[in-house]
Structure formats: C-alpha cells, structure tokens
Amino acid sequence: MTEPLRLSKRMSELGLCSRREADEWIARGWVRVDGQVVSELGSKVLPHQKVTVERQAAAQQAKRVTVLLHKPMGYVSGQAEDGYRPAVVLVTPENRWDEDKAPLQFHGSQLKSLVPAGRLDIDSTGLLVLTQDGRIAKQLIGEDTSIEKEYLVRVQYQRGPRLPDAELKRLNHGLSLDGKKLLPAKVSWQNEDQLRFVLREGKKRQIRRMCELVGLKVLGLKRVRIGRVKLGNLPPGKWRYLGSEEGF
C-alpha cells in the first residue's frame, strides 16, 4: 500500500510551490484535495489524490519577483556575517540596471522574503539569484537539481610551470571533498591563466577546494551563467529582474 505524504511535501513535489508556501496556503484555506478544502497543517495525502490551489494562491505567486544581481567582492550572499553586508542591500531603485527591460516597478514589498537561491563566497563575483519564489529556489538548490553553473576562474599553478594534463583530468572527474566523490564537472582552459568550470553541484567553496587539491591557487572567481540565464553585460553592483520569458 502506498504511504501517505505530508500535503506540503506533496505540493512541493508537484512543483506547485515551496513547502513553506504550501503551509501558508493551507492555513489560509487555499488548498483542496479531491475538491475538498484542507486547512489543517500537517495533513497527509495519498499520491493518487488530486491537489489543487485556489486562484488567490496563483495570484499571490505571480507577484513574487526574482532578481539577478552582479555581486561584487566584499558582500556575503545570505545573512550578514563578520561585519560584512548581505548582497540584498544592493537591491535598491538606484542600483537597478538602466538596460533592464522588465516592465516591473520596484516596490519595497519585493524585498520581503527575497532570499539567495545558492551562494557566492565573499571573495567571488558574478551572477547571484535572489528570489521570493520557492519554486525557483527548489529548482536551483534542491537536492536533485541538474542546473549547470558556469564560472571563470583565474588561477596560478604552485607546483611547476604548468598544470599537468593528468591533473586537469582529475578536476573534470576524480576528486573527492568531505569523503564524497564529486559529480563529473567540465573544466577546460579559457586562456593561459583562466579555467572555465561548469558544475552541477555547489559544495561550500567547492571550486577553490578543488583547485587546492591539484596545486592551483585561485586569484579570481566569477560566476557567469546559471542554467540558461547568463550574467551578460550586467555591471558589478547592479541588478535586474528575471524576465517573464526567461527560465533557468
């Protein structure tokens, strides 16, 4: 017999929303199971049961924004720490990119629950996604995400004149961190002192630690793409909205 699941978990699995959003919608009476309103948190459903949401939930979700920021060095991705400011403080009307084509007006309510979907180290730059939409957060940082992230990494080899080809192969597949084998990566030379990394996972300081294992020192790290969304010409410290026609 199939085991019942928490309704919020099932809604997340179906891609309707995040678990936190699901609990909020359930509490408001916006969720139906087989046509019946379910408003008790912790309720369970069977996988074959039909889950639907009221129009108010879809309308609320449509108002949620996703922001693409070119994070400069010196800002942390999430909560303020060690005296450093979080990247979200850069999301102001003054810092909006002049070339942003999105027809949205900036409003202070867009900063509420605007959280990073993934991280960039304090000393890394490039594309950082901040979103109010739990579906996008799950897509980018969920356990089973397959979204590629691309980085340009300026390096210096510490053990000789040039990184041996065998070590480049290990960067592509053959390294472990924290006792676990890393997923295959795509690592290639962009020019004589810069590597291009394409990863499908994001362990803490992963690229820097991978480089250390093969004798490379990272001098600069910039994320230039997440899935199909590119950093493009977005200047450092500026942001724009994710367009309605764009997807990761």
Active-site hit among 98, 121, 144, 193: 121
| Residue the block writes with tokens 């108002």 | 63
**25 φ, ψ to 5°?**
-70, -40
C-alpha 103 chain-centroid distance: 23
The helix/strand/coil state of 41 is: coil
Please indicate whether residue 98 is annotated as part of the active site.
no
Instruction: Evaluate whether 215 touches 186 at the Cβ level (below 8 Å).
Output: no
Give dist(CA 215, CA 161) in Å, integer.
11
Q: Which two tokens stand for residue 35?
A: 């046509």
Buried b (16+ CB within 10 A) or exposed e, 182-212: beebebeeeeeeebebebeebeebbbbebbe
| Residues acting as catalytic residues | 121
